[in-house]
Amino acid sequence: MDRLTAPRALTVVAAGLLLAAGCRDHAKPTGRVFVGHVRVAGVGRFRSPPLRACLRRFGELRVTRRTRVVEREGLLGASLTIADPRSPLLYGCDFTPGRRTLCGGAVGEWHAGRLNDPRLDILCTDRARRPLAVAWVVPVPRARAIVVRERRVTEVYPVAGGLPVRIWTRDGVRYERSSAVFDVTQRAADGRTLAHERLHAAVAG
Partner 1 sequence: MSLLRPRVVFLAAFLVALSLAAAKAALATFVSANCNYNAPTSSPNMYRDGSVTVALVARYEGYHWGGGCWNDNDVDEGPNEPLQTSSTGGEGGDCSGLTFKVWRESLNTGDGGHYQWGRLRNVHGPYTAADFKAGVGVPNATYPKADAIVMDAFASSTHIGMVYQRGTSGADQIVEAKCEACGTNIFTRTYRSDSSYGGVRRMGWTG
Residues in Cβ contact with 64 at an 8 Å cutoff, skipping those fewer than 6 apart: 43, 84, 86
Task: Work out the angle at residue 128's Cα, subtended by the Cα atoms of residues 149 and 101, and round it to the nearest 5 degrees.
Answer: 85
Alpha-carbon span 11 to 95, nearest angstrom: 46
Shortest reach from residue 183's CB to partner 1, in Å: 17
Which of 28, 129 has the CB closer to partner 1?
129
Helix (H) or strand (E) holding 5: none
* Binding residue for partner 1, selected from 85, 127, 176, 191, defined by CB under 8 A: 176
Alpha-helical (H) ranges within 26-167 are: 49-57
Binding string, residues 99-138; x marks residues near partner 1 by CB under 8 A: -----xxxx-x------xx-x-xxx---------------
DSSP 8-state secondary structure symbol assigned to residue 113: T
Answer yes or no whether residue 1 interacts with partner 1 by CB under 8 A.
yes
User: Does 203 engage in binding with partner 1 (CB under 8 A)?
Assistant: yes
Residue 20 and residue 65: Cα distance in Å, rounded?
A: 51
Nearer to partner 1, 121 or 150 (CB): 121
Chain residues binding partner 1 by CB under 8 A are: 1-6, 9-10, 12-14, 16-17, 20, 57-60, 89, 91, 104-107, 109, 116-117, 119, 121-123, 175-179, 200, 202-205
